[in-house]
Structure 1
Amino acid sequence: MKASLYLVLATLFWSGNFVVGQAAVASMSPLDLTFWRWTFAAVPLLLLAHFVEMPDWRAVLRRWPVLLLLSVLGMSGYTLLLYGALGLTSAVNAALITAANPALIVVLAIVLLGERTTRLGWLGICLGLLGVLLVLSRGELQRVFGLSINTGELMMVGAVIVWGCYTIIARRLDVPVISATAVQVAIASVTLAPFALALNVRLPATPAEGWSLAYIVVFPSLGAYLFWNLALKTTPPGTAGNYLNLIVVFTALITVTLGTPLTLVQIVGGVMVIAGVLLTGMKVRAKPPVRAASTLGS
Protein backbone atom coordinates (compact mmCIF):
# COMPACT_ATOMS: atom_id res chain seq x y z
CA MET A 1 0.00 0.00 0.00
CA LYS A 2 2.84 2.38 0.88
CA ALA A 3 4.62 1.57 -2.40
CA SER A 4 1.45 2.40 -4.36
CA LEU A 5 1.24 5.76 -2.60
CA TYR A 6 4.88 6.47 -3.49
CA LEU A 7 4.23 5.66 -7.16
CA VAL A 8 1.14 7.87 -7.26
CA LEU A 9 3.06 10.77 -5.69
CA ALA A 10 5.95 10.35 -8.13
CA THR A 11 3.67 10.48 -11.16
CA LEU A 12 1.75 13.41 -9.67
CA PHE A 13 4.99 15.38 -9.26
CA TRP A 14 6.06 14.57 -12.82
CA SER A 15 2.63 15.63 -14.08
CA GLY A 16 3.05 18.97 -12.35
CA ASN A 17 6.28 19.47 -14.29
CA PHE A 18 4.30 19.64 -17.53
CA VAL A 19 1.86 22.23 -16.18
CA VAL A 20 4.37 24.33 -14.22
CA GLY A 21 6.93 24.04 -17.02
CA GLN A 22 4.42 25.37 -19.53
CA ALA A 23 3.76 28.39 -17.32
CA ALA A 24 7.48 28.95 -16.69
CA VAL A 25 8.55 28.94 -20.35
CA ALA A 26 6.28 31.90 -20.97
CA SER A 27 9.00 34.11 -19.45
CA MET A 28 12.06 31.86 -19.04
CA SER A 29 13.94 30.05 -21.80
CA PRO A 30 14.20 26.24 -21.95
CA LEU A 31 17.93 26.61 -21.24
CA ASP A 32 17.21 28.74 -18.16
CA LEU A 33 14.92 26.07 -16.74
CA THR A 34 17.09 23.11 -17.71
CA PHE A 35 20.36 24.54 -16.43
CA TRP A 36 19.04 25.77 -13.08
CA ARG A 37 16.88 22.68 -12.58
CA TRP A 38 19.86 20.36 -12.70
CA THR A 39 22.31 22.76 -11.04
CA PHE A 40 20.12 23.14 -7.96
CA ALA A 41 19.17 19.43 -7.92
CA ALA A 42 22.69 18.03 -8.34
CA VAL A 43 24.01 18.24 -4.76
CA PRO A 44 20.77 17.06 -3.05
CA LEU A 45 20.55 14.12 -5.48
CA LEU A 46 24.18 13.17 -4.84
CA LEU A 47 23.55 13.27 -1.08
CA LEU A 48 20.34 11.27 -1.53
CA ALA A 49 22.21 8.63 -3.52
CA HIS A 50 25.04 8.50 -1.00
CA PHE A 51 22.82 7.90 2.03
CA VAL A 52 20.07 5.79 0.41
CA GLU A 53 22.16 3.53 -1.86
CA MET A 54 25.64 3.96 -0.32
CA PRO A 55 27.33 3.17 -3.66
CA ASP A 56 30.98 2.55 -4.45
CA TRP A 57 31.55 5.96 -6.05
CA ARG A 58 34.81 4.89 -7.68
CA ALA A 59 33.01 2.05 -9.45
CA VAL A 60 30.23 4.44 -10.47
CA LEU A 61 32.65 7.01 -11.92
CA ARG A 62 34.48 4.32 -13.90
CA ARG A 63 31.35 4.23 -16.06
CA TRP A 64 31.71 7.93 -16.90
CA PRO A 65 31.63 7.53 -20.72
CA VAL A 66 28.17 5.94 -20.75
CA LEU A 67 26.99 8.24 -17.94
CA LEU A 68 28.09 11.23 -20.03
CA LEU A 69 26.15 9.93 -23.03
CA LEU A 70 23.09 9.30 -20.90
CA SER A 71 23.33 12.77 -19.38
CA VAL A 72 23.48 14.41 -22.82
CA LEU A 73 20.46 12.41 -23.96
CA GLY A 74 18.24 12.18 -20.90
CA MET A 75 19.07 15.21 -18.79
CA SER A 76 20.08 17.84 -21.34
CA GLY A 77 18.52 16.75 -24.64
CA TYR A 78 15.19 15.47 -23.36
CA THR A 79 14.64 18.31 -20.91
CA LEU A 80 15.52 21.05 -23.39
CA LEU A 81 13.15 19.54 -25.95
CA LEU A 82 10.43 19.12 -23.32
CA TYR A 83 10.51 22.75 -22.16
CA GLY A 84 10.89 23.95 -25.74
CA ALA A 85 7.77 21.97 -26.68
CA LEU A 86 5.81 23.29 -23.70
CA GLY A 87 6.34 26.81 -25.01
CA LEU A 88 4.53 25.87 -28.23
CA THR A 89 1.91 23.27 -27.30
CA SER A 90 -0.34 22.40 -24.36
CA ALA A 91 0.77 20.44 -21.31
CA VAL A 92 -1.95 17.86 -22.02
CA ASN A 93 -0.76 17.27 -25.61
CA ALA A 94 2.84 16.96 -24.40
CA ALA A 95 1.80 14.43 -21.74
CA LEU A 96 -0.26 12.45 -24.26
CA ILE A 97 2.70 12.20 -26.64
CA THR A 98 4.95 11.18 -23.74
CA ALA A 99 2.49 8.42 -22.84
CA ALA A 100 3.48 6.63 -26.04
CA ASN A 101 7.03 6.27 -24.72
CA PRO A 102 6.69 2.66 -23.46
CA ALA A 103 5.50 1.50 -26.88
CA LEU A 104 8.36 3.35 -28.59
CA ILE A 105 10.85 1.69 -26.25
CA VAL A 106 9.45 -1.71 -27.25
CA VAL A 107 9.92 -0.82 -30.94
CA LEU A 108 13.49 0.36 -30.34
CA ALA A 109 14.25 -2.81 -28.39
CA ILE A 110 12.95 -4.88 -31.31
CA VAL A 111 14.95 -2.92 -33.89
CA LEU A 112 18.18 -2.39 -31.95
CA LEU A 113 18.32 -5.36 -29.59
CA GLY A 114 16.46 -8.03 -31.53
CA GLU A 115 13.82 -8.48 -28.84
CA ARG A 116 10.46 -9.91 -29.84
CA THR A 117 6.86 -9.07 -29.11
CA THR A 118 3.49 -10.73 -29.71
CA ARG A 119 0.62 -9.85 -31.99
CA LEU A 120 -1.08 -8.32 -28.98
CA GLY A 121 2.01 -6.20 -28.40
CA TRP A 122 2.01 -5.00 -32.01
CA LEU A 123 -1.69 -4.17 -31.72
CA GLY A 124 -0.91 -2.06 -28.67
CA ILE A 125 1.94 -0.28 -30.48
CA CYS A 126 -0.29 0.54 -33.46
CA LEU A 127 -3.17 1.68 -31.25
CA GLY A 128 -0.90 3.95 -29.23
CA LEU A 129 0.66 5.38 -32.38
CA LEU A 130 -2.78 6.09 -33.83
CA GLY A 131 -3.77 7.85 -30.61
CA VAL A 132 -0.68 10.07 -30.78
CA LEU A 133 -1.34 10.86 -34.46
CA LEU A 134 -4.92 11.77 -33.55
CA VAL A 135 -3.66 14.26 -30.96
CA LEU A 136 -0.95 15.63 -33.28
CA SER A 137 -3.44 16.20 -36.09
CA ARG A 138 -6.24 17.44 -33.80
CA GLY A 139 -8.52 14.83 -35.27
CA GLU A 140 -7.63 15.60 -38.88
CA LEU A 141 -5.25 12.79 -39.81
CA GLN A 142 -4.64 14.26 -43.27
CA ARG A 143 -2.64 17.00 -41.53
CA VAL A 144 0.00 14.40 -40.69
CA PHE A 145 0.61 13.73 -44.38
CA GLY A 146 0.53 17.45 -45.13
CA LEU A 147 3.21 18.07 -42.46
CA SER A 148 0.98 20.75 -40.91
CA ILE A 149 1.70 19.74 -37.33
CA ASN A 150 2.47 22.12 -34.47
CA THR A 151 6.23 22.63 -34.04
CA GLY A 152 5.97 22.10 -30.30
CA GLU A 153 4.34 18.72 -30.78
CA LEU A 154 7.07 17.72 -33.22
CA MET A 155 9.64 18.74 -30.59
CA MET A 156 7.79 16.56 -28.09
CA VAL A 157 7.99 13.62 -30.51
CA GLY A 158 11.72 14.31 -30.72
CA ALA A 159 11.91 14.35 -26.92
CA VAL A 160 10.18 10.97 -26.72
CA ILE A 161 12.58 9.49 -29.29
CA VAL A 162 15.57 10.84 -27.35
CA TRP A 163 14.18 9.38 -24.13
CA GLY A 164 13.60 6.05 -25.84
CA CYS A 165 17.26 5.92 -26.90
CA TYR A 166 18.26 6.92 -23.37
CA THR A 167 16.23 4.07 -21.92
CA ILE A 168 17.64 1.46 -24.28
CA ILE A 169 21.17 2.43 -23.26
CA ALA A 170 20.36 2.86 -19.56
CA ARG A 171 18.68 -0.53 -19.19
CA ARG A 172 22.08 -2.25 -19.34
CA LEU A 173 23.84 0.12 -16.97
CA ASP A 174 24.98 -1.76 -13.85
CA VAL A 175 24.95 1.26 -11.54
CA PRO A 176 22.46 1.93 -8.71
CA VAL A 177 19.58 3.99 -10.09
CA ILE A 178 19.67 7.07 -7.85
CA SER A 179 23.47 7.21 -8.05
CA ALA A 180 23.40 6.98 -11.85
CA THR A 181 20.75 9.70 -11.99
CA ALA A 182 22.66 11.96 -9.60
CA VAL A 183 25.90 11.67 -11.58
CA GLN A 184 24.06 12.35 -14.84
CA VAL A 185 22.46 15.44 -13.31
CA ALA A 186 25.83 16.71 -12.10
CA ILE A 187 27.33 16.11 -15.56
CA ALA A 188 24.42 17.97 -17.17
CA SER A 189 25.02 20.98 -14.93
CA VAL A 190 28.72 21.05 -15.87
CA THR A 191 28.28 20.45 -19.60
CA LEU A 192 25.50 23.03 -19.90
CA ALA A 193 27.49 25.69 -18.00
CA PRO A 194 29.43 27.01 -21.07
CA PHE A 195 26.17 27.41 -23.00
CA ALA A 196 24.56 29.03 -19.97
CA LEU A 197 27.40 31.58 -19.79
CA ALA A 198 27.44 32.24 -23.53
CA LEU A 199 23.68 32.72 -23.75
CA ASN A 200 23.38 34.74 -20.52
CA VAL A 201 21.18 32.31 -18.64
CA ARG A 202 19.39 34.19 -15.89
CA LEU A 203 17.92 33.35 -12.53
CA PRO A 204 14.19 33.85 -11.95
CA ALA A 205 13.38 37.57 -11.86
CA THR A 206 9.84 37.41 -10.44
CA PRO A 207 8.21 35.52 -7.55
CA ALA A 208 6.19 33.47 -10.07
CA GLU A 209 9.35 32.38 -11.88
CA GLY A 210 11.05 31.61 -8.58
CA TRP A 211 8.20 29.43 -7.34
CA SER A 212 8.01 27.64 -10.70
CA LEU A 213 11.71 26.78 -10.61
CA ALA A 214 11.47 25.78 -6.95
CA TYR A 215 8.66 23.35 -7.77
CA ILE A 216 10.62 21.89 -10.69
CA VAL A 217 13.72 21.37 -8.54
CA VAL A 218 12.01 20.03 -5.41
CA PHE A 219 9.18 17.89 -6.73
CA PRO A 220 9.87 16.34 -10.18
CA SER A 221 13.67 16.44 -9.78
CA LEU A 222 14.06 15.30 -6.15
CA GLY A 223 10.78 14.10 -4.63
CA ALA A 224 9.63 12.06 -7.61
CA TYR A 225 12.95 10.23 -7.95
CA LEU A 226 13.00 9.46 -4.22
CA PHE A 227 9.44 8.12 -4.12
CA TRP A 228 9.84 6.19 -7.37
CA ASN A 229 12.96 4.39 -6.22
CA LEU A 230 11.61 3.72 -2.73
CA ALA A 231 8.62 2.05 -4.38
CA LEU A 232 10.87 -0.06 -6.61
CA LYS A 233 12.36 -1.68 -3.51
CA THR A 234 9.12 -3.67 -3.11
CA THR A 235 7.38 -3.29 -6.50
CA PRO A 236 8.38 -5.03 -9.77
CA PRO A 237 9.54 -2.46 -12.35
CA GLY A 238 6.96 -3.69 -14.86
CA THR A 239 4.14 -3.09 -12.39
CA ALA A 240 5.54 0.31 -11.48
CA GLY A 241 5.76 1.20 -15.16
CA ASN A 242 1.98 0.97 -15.49
CA TYR A 243 1.66 3.83 -13.02
CA LEU A 244 3.32 6.11 -15.58
CA ASN A 245 -0.05 6.19 -17.36
CA LEU A 246 -1.23 8.36 -14.46
CA ILE A 247 0.93 11.21 -15.78
CA VAL A 248 -1.58 11.83 -18.57
CA VAL A 249 -4.50 11.54 -16.16
CA PHE A 250 -3.01 13.88 -13.55
CA THR A 251 -1.89 16.41 -16.18
CA ALA A 252 -5.41 16.47 -17.61
CA LEU A 253 -6.97 16.85 -14.15
CA ILE A 254 -4.61 19.68 -13.19
CA THR A 255 -5.25 21.43 -16.50
CA VAL A 256 -9.03 21.17 -16.12
CA THR A 257 -8.84 22.34 -12.50
CA LEU A 258 -6.94 25.43 -13.68
CA GLY A 259 -9.76 26.22 -16.12
CA THR A 260 -8.61 24.76 -19.46
CA PRO A 261 -11.16 22.24 -20.79
CA LEU A 262 -10.12 19.09 -22.62
CA THR A 263 -11.14 18.54 -26.22
CA LEU A 264 -12.86 15.38 -27.46
CA VAL A 265 -9.81 14.60 -29.60
CA GLN A 266 -7.54 14.77 -26.53
CA ILE A 267 -9.84 12.46 -24.56
CA VAL A 268 -10.18 9.89 -27.36
CA GLY A 269 -6.47 10.07 -28.21
CA GLY A 270 -5.54 9.69 -24.56
CA VAL A 271 -7.73 6.60 -24.13
CA MET A 272 -6.16 5.07 -27.24
CA VAL A 273 -2.61 5.80 -26.07
CA ILE A 274 -3.18 4.39 -22.58
CA ALA A 275 -4.98 1.31 -23.96
CA GLY A 276 -2.11 0.78 -26.37
CA VAL A 277 0.45 1.00 -23.60
CA LEU A 278 -1.50 -1.51 -21.48
CA LEU A 279 -1.70 -3.93 -24.42
CA THR A 280 2.01 -3.50 -25.09
CA GLY A 281 2.71 -4.17 -21.42
CA MET A 282 0.95 -7.54 -21.73
CA LYS A 283 3.58 -8.81 -24.15
CA VAL A 284 6.42 -11.23 -23.40
CA ARG A 285 8.02 -10.75 -19.98
CA ALA A 286 11.23 -12.53 -20.90
CA LYS A 287 13.36 -9.48 -20.18
CA PRO A 288 11.90 -7.47 -17.30
CA PRO A 289 12.54 -3.72 -17.47
CA VAL A 290 15.74 -2.70 -15.73
CA ARG A 291 15.37 -0.13 -12.99
CA ALA A 292 17.73 2.35 -14.68
CA ALA A 293 15.13 2.71 -17.43
CA SER A 294 12.48 3.74 -14.94
CA THR A 295 13.87 7.20 -14.18
CA LEU A 296 11.36 9.17 -16.19
CA GLY A 297 13.25 12.45 -16.41
CA SER A 298 10.10 14.57 -16.87
Structure 2
Amino acid sequence: MKASLYLVLATLFWSGNYVVGQAAVASMTPLELTFWRWSLAAVPLLLLAYFVEKPDWRAVLRRWPVLLLLSVLGMSGYTLLLYSALGYTSAMNASLITAANPALIVVMAIVLIGEKTTRVGWLGICLGLLGVLLVLSRGELARVFSLPINTGELMMVGAIIIWGFYTIIARRLKLPAISATAVQVVMATVTLAPFALAMNVRFPDTAAEGWSLAYIAVFPSLGSYLFWNLALKTTPPGTAGNYLNLMVVFTAIITVLLGTPLTPVQIVGGLMVVAGVLLTGTKGQPRRLAAPATSSAGGRGR
Protein backbone atom coordinates (compact mmCIF):
# COMPACT_ATOMS: atom_id res chain seq x y z
CA MET A 1 0.00 0.00 0.00
CA LYS A 2 2.84 2.38 0.85
CA ALA A 3 4.55 1.66 -2.47
CA SER A 4 1.38 2.55 -4.40
CA LEU A 5 1.07 5.82 -2.48
CA TYR A 6 4.72 6.64 -3.19
CA LEU A 7 4.23 6.02 -6.92
CA VAL A 8 1.09 8.14 -7.03
CA LEU A 9 2.87 11.03 -5.27
CA ALA A 10 5.89 10.77 -7.57
CA THR A 11 3.75 11.01 -10.72
CA LEU A 12 1.61 13.78 -9.19
CA PHE A 13 4.71 15.91 -8.54
CA TRP A 14 6.04 15.28 -12.06
CA SER A 15 2.65 16.27 -13.48
CA GLY A 16 2.79 19.52 -11.57
CA ASN A 17 6.10 20.28 -13.29
CA TYR A 18 4.24 20.69 -16.59
CA VAL A 19 1.66 23.10 -15.22
CA VAL A 20 4.04 25.12 -13.02
CA GLY A 21 6.67 25.10 -15.76
CA GLN A 22 4.21 26.53 -18.26
CA ALA A 23 3.38 29.37 -15.87
CA ALA A 24 7.07 29.98 -15.10
CA VAL A 25 8.21 30.30 -18.74
CA ALA A 26 6.00 33.35 -19.08
CA SER A 27 8.63 35.35 -17.16
CA MET A 28 11.70 33.09 -16.98
CA THR A 29 13.75 31.62 -19.81
CA PRO A 30 14.08 27.83 -20.23
CA LEU A 31 17.80 28.18 -19.43
CA GLU A 32 17.04 30.03 -16.19
CA LEU A 33 14.53 27.39 -15.13
CA THR A 34 16.81 24.49 -16.04
CA PHE A 35 19.96 25.96 -14.46
CA TRP A 36 18.32 26.96 -11.18
CA ARG A 37 16.28 23.76 -10.98
CA TRP A 38 19.38 21.59 -10.97
CA SER A 39 21.55 24.04 -9.03
CA LEU A 40 19.08 24.08 -6.16
CA ALA A 41 18.48 20.31 -6.30
CA ALA A 42 22.13 19.22 -6.51
CA VAL A 43 23.18 19.31 -2.84
CA PRO A 44 19.87 17.93 -1.46
CA LEU A 45 20.04 15.07 -4.00
CA LEU A 46 23.61 14.26 -2.97
CA LEU A 47 22.52 14.18 0.69
CA LEU A 48 19.50 12.07 -0.21
CA ALA A 49 21.73 9.58 -2.03
CA TYR A 50 24.16 9.47 0.90
CA PHE A 51 21.53 8.73 3.54
CA VAL A 52 19.21 6.49 1.48
CA GLU A 53 21.71 4.49 -0.61
CA LYS A 54 25.09 5.01 1.13
CA PRO A 55 26.91 4.49 -2.20
CA ASP A 56 30.55 3.85 -3.00
CA TRP A 57 31.17 7.27 -4.53
CA ARG A 58 34.46 6.19 -6.11
CA ALA A 59 32.68 3.40 -7.98
CA VAL A 60 30.00 5.87 -9.09
CA LEU A 61 32.51 8.47 -10.30
CA ARG A 62 34.50 5.87 -12.25
CA ARG A 63 31.56 5.90 -14.68
CA TRP A 64 31.85 9.65 -15.20
CA PRO A 65 31.95 9.55 -19.05
CA VAL A 66 28.58 7.83 -19.37
CA LEU A 67 27.16 9.87 -16.50
CA LEU A 68 28.23 13.05 -18.30
CA LEU A 69 26.54 11.87 -21.50
CA LEU A 70 23.37 11.07 -19.55
CA SER A 71 23.51 14.47 -17.86
CA VAL A 72 23.75 16.27 -21.20
CA LEU A 73 20.87 14.24 -22.62
CA GLY A 74 18.46 13.89 -19.71
CA MET A 75 19.15 16.74 -17.33
CA SER A 76 20.12 19.49 -19.77
CA GLY A 77 18.75 18.52 -23.21
CA TYR A 78 15.40 17.08 -22.20
CA THR A 79 14.67 19.73 -19.58
CA LEU A 80 15.61 22.66 -21.83
CA LEU A 81 13.38 21.32 -24.60
CA LEU A 82 10.53 20.66 -22.15
CA TYR A 83 10.51 24.20 -20.77
CA SER A 84 11.01 25.66 -24.25
CA ALA A 85 8.01 23.66 -25.50
CA LEU A 86 5.83 24.91 -22.65
CA GLY A 87 6.27 28.42 -24.00
CA TYR A 88 4.40 27.41 -27.16
CA THR A 89 2.00 24.59 -26.26
CA SER A 90 -0.23 23.66 -23.34
CA ALA A 91 0.85 21.59 -20.37
CA MET A 92 -1.86 19.09 -21.33
CA ASN A 93 -0.56 18.61 -24.87
CA ALA A 94 3.00 18.33 -23.58
CA SER A 95 1.99 15.59 -21.12
CA LEU A 96 0.03 13.74 -23.83
CA ILE A 97 3.07 13.66 -26.10
CA THR A 98 5.27 12.60 -23.19
CA ALA A 99 2.84 9.76 -22.44
CA ALA A 100 3.89 8.15 -25.72
CA ASN A 101 7.48 7.97 -24.44
CA PRO A 102 7.32 4.35 -23.16
CA ALA A 103 6.12 3.08 -26.55
CA LEU A 104 8.76 5.18 -28.32
CA ILE A 105 11.45 3.69 -26.09
CA VAL A 106 10.31 0.19 -27.09
CA VAL A 107 10.65 1.13 -30.79
CA MET A 108 14.08 2.67 -30.23
CA ALA A 109 15.22 -0.40 -28.29
CA ILE A 110 14.07 -2.64 -31.16
CA VAL A 111 15.94 -0.55 -33.75
CA LEU A 112 19.07 0.25 -31.76
CA ILE A 113 19.75 -2.80 -29.59
CA GLY A 114 17.65 -5.53 -31.16
CA GLU A 115 15.03 -6.01 -28.46
CA LYS A 116 11.85 -7.82 -29.40
CA THR A 117 8.18 -7.16 -28.92
CA THR A 118 4.97 -9.05 -29.64
CA ARG A 119 2.08 -8.39 -32.00
CA VAL A 120 0.15 -6.93 -29.07
CA GLY A 121 3.15 -4.74 -28.34
CA TRP A 122 3.15 -3.44 -31.92
CA LEU A 123 -0.59 -2.81 -31.63
CA GLY A 124 0.06 -0.74 -28.51
CA ILE A 125 2.84 1.21 -30.24
CA CYS A 126 0.60 2.01 -33.22
CA LEU A 127 -2.33 2.96 -30.99
CA GLY A 128 -0.14 5.30 -28.93
CA LEU A 129 1.33 6.89 -32.07
CA LEU A 130 -2.16 7.39 -33.48
CA GLY A 131 -3.21 9.11 -30.25
CA VAL A 132 -0.25 11.50 -30.41
CA LEU A 133 -0.93 12.27 -34.08
CA LEU A 134 -4.57 12.97 -33.19
CA VAL A 135 -3.45 15.55 -30.62
CA LEU A 136 -0.81 17.09 -32.93
CA SER A 137 -3.25 17.37 -35.84
CA ARG A 138 -6.08 18.72 -33.65
CA GLY A 139 -8.22 15.78 -34.75
CA GLU A 140 -7.63 16.19 -38.50
CA LEU A 141 -5.61 13.04 -39.14
CA ALA A 142 -6.31 13.14 -42.89
CA ARG A 143 -4.34 16.39 -43.08
CA VAL A 144 -1.57 15.43 -40.66
CA PHE A 145 1.18 15.93 -43.26
CA SER A 146 -0.12 19.26 -44.51
CA LEU A 147 -1.12 20.93 -41.26
CA PRO A 148 1.46 23.20 -39.59
CA ILE A 149 2.47 21.57 -36.30
CA ASN A 150 2.85 23.79 -33.24
CA THR A 151 6.51 24.61 -32.51
CA GLY A 152 6.14 23.55 -28.89
CA GLU A 153 4.73 20.18 -29.85
CA LEU A 154 7.63 19.57 -32.24
CA MET A 155 9.98 20.43 -29.37
CA MET A 156 8.20 17.89 -27.15
CA VAL A 157 8.63 15.23 -29.83
CA GLY A 158 12.34 16.09 -29.87
CA ALA A 159 12.40 15.95 -26.07
CA ILE A 160 10.93 12.45 -25.85
CA ILE A 161 13.34 11.21 -28.52
CA ILE A 162 16.23 12.53 -26.41
CA TRP A 163 14.69 10.86 -23.35
CA GLY A 164 14.47 7.63 -25.32
CA PHE A 165 18.23 7.68 -25.94
CA TYR A 166 18.77 8.60 -22.28
CA THR A 167 16.68 5.68 -21.07
CA ILE A 168 18.28 3.09 -23.34
CA ILE A 169 21.75 4.13 -22.12
CA ALA A 170 20.73 4.55 -18.47
CA ARG A 171 18.93 1.21 -18.12
CA ARG A 172 22.29 -0.56 -18.61
CA LEU A 173 24.08 1.52 -16.00
CA LYS A 174 24.49 -0.61 -12.88
CA LEU A 175 24.67 2.14 -10.27
CA PRO A 176 22.42 3.18 -7.36
CA ALA A 177 19.59 5.21 -8.84
CA ILE A 178 19.57 8.33 -6.63
CA SER A 179 23.38 8.50 -6.55
CA ALA A 180 23.65 8.32 -10.35
CA THR A 181 20.94 10.96 -10.65
CA ALA A 182 22.66 13.25 -8.13
CA VAL A 183 25.97 13.08 -10.00
CA GLN A 184 24.21 13.84 -13.29
CA VAL A 185 22.51 16.84 -11.69
CA VAL A 186 25.83 18.18 -10.40
CA MET A 187 27.33 17.72 -13.87
CA ALA A 188 24.38 19.54 -15.44
CA THR A 189 24.85 22.45 -13.05
CA VAL A 190 28.57 22.68 -13.91
CA THR A 191 28.15 22.33 -17.68
CA LEU A 192 25.27 24.82 -17.81
CA ALA A 193 27.07 27.39 -15.67
CA PRO A 194 29.13 28.96 -18.53
CA PHE A 195 25.98 29.34 -20.63
CA ALA A 196 24.15 30.80 -17.62
CA LEU A 197 26.92 33.37 -17.13
CA ALA A 198 27.05 34.23 -20.83
CA MET A 199 23.28 34.70 -21.00
CA ASN A 200 23.18 36.70 -17.74
CA VAL A 201 20.85 34.22 -16.07
CA ARG A 202 19.14 35.92 -13.13
CA PHE A 203 17.71 34.52 -9.95
CA PRO A 204 13.91 34.91 -9.62
CA ASP A 205 13.06 38.39 -8.38
CA THR A 206 9.29 38.08 -7.95
CA ALA A 207 7.28 36.00 -5.51
CA ALA A 208 5.54 34.10 -8.33
CA GLU A 209 8.86 33.14 -9.94
CA GLY A 210 10.32 32.17 -6.57
CA TRP A 211 7.41 29.89 -5.68
CA SER A 212 7.43 28.30 -9.15
CA LEU A 213 11.14 27.55 -8.90
CA ALA A 214 10.76 26.30 -5.33
CA TYR A 215 8.09 23.83 -6.45
CA ILE A 216 10.18 22.63 -9.40
CA ALA A 217 13.33 22.20 -7.29
CA VAL A 218 11.62 20.48 -4.34
CA PHE A 219 8.77 18.35 -5.66
CA PRO A 220 9.59 16.96 -9.15
CA SER A 221 13.37 17.17 -8.63
CA LEU A 222 13.62 15.79 -5.08
CA GLY A 223 10.28 14.41 -3.90
CA SER A 224 9.51 12.39 -7.02
CA TYR A 225 12.92 10.73 -7.07
CA LEU A 226 12.72 9.87 -3.38
CA PHE A 227 9.21 8.41 -3.54
CA TRP A 228 9.90 6.57 -6.81
CA ASN A 229 13.02 4.89 -5.47
CA LEU A 230 11.39 4.00 -2.15
CA ALA A 231 8.57 2.33 -4.09
CA LEU A 232 11.00 0.38 -6.27
CA LYS A 233 12.33 -1.41 -3.19
CA THR A 234 9.13 -3.49 -3.16
CA THR A 235 7.64 -2.92 -6.65
CA PRO A 236 8.88 -4.39 -9.95
CA PRO A 237 10.06 -1.70 -12.43
CA GLY A 238 7.53 -2.83 -15.05
CA THR A 239 4.65 -2.40 -12.61
CA ALA A 240 5.94 0.96 -11.45
CA GLY A 241 6.29 2.13 -15.05
CA ASN A 242 2.56 1.79 -15.60
CA TYR A 243 1.99 4.43 -12.93
CA LEU A 244 3.55 6.97 -15.30
CA ASN A 245 0.26 6.88 -17.20
CA LEU A 246 -1.19 8.80 -14.26
CA MET A 247 0.79 11.85 -15.37
CA VAL A 248 -1.72 12.49 -18.16
CA VAL A 249 -4.61 12.06 -15.71
CA PHE A 250 -3.11 14.34 -13.07
CA THR A 251 -2.16 16.99 -15.63
CA ALA A 252 -5.71 16.92 -16.97
CA ILE A 253 -7.17 17.29 -13.46
CA ILE A 254 -4.84 20.17 -12.58
CA THR A 255 -5.56 21.88 -15.91
CA VAL A 256 -9.32 21.64 -15.43
CA LEU A 257 -9.09 22.85 -11.80
CA LEU A 258 -7.18 25.89 -13.05
CA GLY A 259 -10.03 26.70 -15.41
CA THR A 260 -8.82 25.37 -18.78
CA PRO A 261 -11.31 22.89 -20.28
CA LEU A 262 -10.12 19.80 -22.14
CA THR A 263 -11.05 19.36 -25.79
CA PRO A 264 -12.65 16.15 -27.06
CA VAL A 265 -9.55 15.57 -29.21
CA GLN A 266 -7.30 15.76 -26.14
CA ILE A 267 -9.52 13.32 -24.23
CA VAL A 268 -9.72 10.76 -27.07
CA GLY A 269 -6.04 11.15 -27.95
CA GLY A 270 -5.05 10.79 -24.31
CA LEU A 271 -7.09 7.61 -23.86
CA MET A 272 -5.49 6.14 -26.98
CA VAL A 273 -1.99 6.98 -25.76
CA VAL A 274 -2.59 5.50 -22.31
CA ALA A 275 -4.18 2.36 -23.79
CA GLY A 276 -1.24 2.00 -26.16
CA VAL A 277 1.28 2.29 -23.37
CA LEU A 278 -0.58 -0.28 -21.27
CA LEU A 279 -0.63 -2.74 -24.18
CA THR A 280 3.06 -2.15 -24.88
CA GLY A 281 4.12 -2.41 -21.26
CA THR A 282 1.96 -5.24 -19.93
CA LYS A 283 1.30 -7.46 -22.95
CA GLY A 284 3.91 -6.40 -25.45
CA GLN A 285 7.05 -7.88 -23.87
CA PRO A 286 8.14 -11.38 -24.85
CA ARG A 287 8.28 -13.60 -21.78
CA ARG A 288 12.03 -14.02 -22.09
CA LEU A 289 12.58 -10.29 -21.71
CA ALA A 290 12.62 -9.34 -18.06
CA ALA A 291 11.89 -5.78 -17.05
CA PRO A 292 15.13 -3.79 -16.99
CA ALA A 293 16.65 -3.20 -13.60
CA THR A 294 16.11 0.31 -12.37
CA SER A 295 19.70 1.27 -11.82
CA SER A 296 19.54 4.93 -12.66
CA ALA A 297 17.04 7.65 -13.40
CA GLY A 298 16.25 6.27 -16.82
CA GLY A 299 12.56 6.33 -17.64
CA ARG A 300 11.62 8.36 -14.61
CA GLY A 301 13.02 11.82 -14.42
CA ARG A 302 10.71 14.62 -15.66
Q: Sort the Cα spacing of 1:189 and 1:15 in 2 relative to 1 into closer, same or farther, 3 A.
A: same
Q: Distance in 1 between matches of 2:108 and 2:135?
A: 22
Per the alignment, residue 251 of structure 1 pairs with 251
Could you tell me which runs of 5 or more consecutive residues in structure 2 were left unpaired when the two chains were aligned: none
Cα distance in structure 1, aligned partners of 2:107 and 2:139: 25
Amino acid at match of 2:166: Y
Q: Is the 8 A contact 1:237 1:294 kept in 2?
A: no
Are 2:238 and 1:234 equivalent residues in the alignment?
Answer: no
Residues 103 and 124, structure 1, Cα contact 8 Å, conserved in 2: yes
**1:289 corresponding residue in structure 2:** 292
Tell me the distance in 1 between the aligned counterparts of 2:147 and 2:191: 34
1:84 partnered with 2:87? no
1:69 partner amino acid: L
- The superposition leaves residues 68-110 of structure 1 with CA deviations (integer Å, 9 ceiling, x where unpaired) of 0000000000000000000100000000000000000100110
- CA positional deviation for 1:146: 1.6
2:195 & 2:144 partners in 1: Cα distance? 34
Deviations along 1:245-267, whole A, 9 cap, x unmatched? 00000000000000000000000
d(CA) in 2 for partners of 1:203, 1:189: 14
Q: Indicate the residue corresponding to 1:209 in structure 2.
A: 209
Provide, for residues 183-203 of structure 1, a one-character-per-residue CA deviation record: whole Å limited to 9, x for no partner. 000000000000000001111
Shift, 1:294, TM fit: 4.5
1:56 and 2:56 aligned: yes
Q: Report the equivalent of 1:131.
A: 131
Residue type of the partner of 1:196?
A
The code of the aligned residue for 1:76 comes to S
Pair 1:45 & 2:45 matched: yes
Amino acid at match of 1:289: P
Whether contact under 8 Å (1:135, 1:266) holds in the other structure is: yes
Alpha-carbon distance, 1:296 to partner: 2.0
Matched residue, 1:193: 193
Aligned residues: 298
* Counterpart AA for 1:227: F
- Percent of aligned positions with the same letter in both sequences? 83
Q: Which runs of 4+ in 1 moved over 3 A?
A: none
Distance in 1 (CA, whole Å) between partners of 2:180 and 2:147 is 38
**Aligned-partner SS, 1:145:** coil
Residue matched to 1:12: 12
Compute the TM-score of the two structures, normalised by the length of structure 1.
0.98
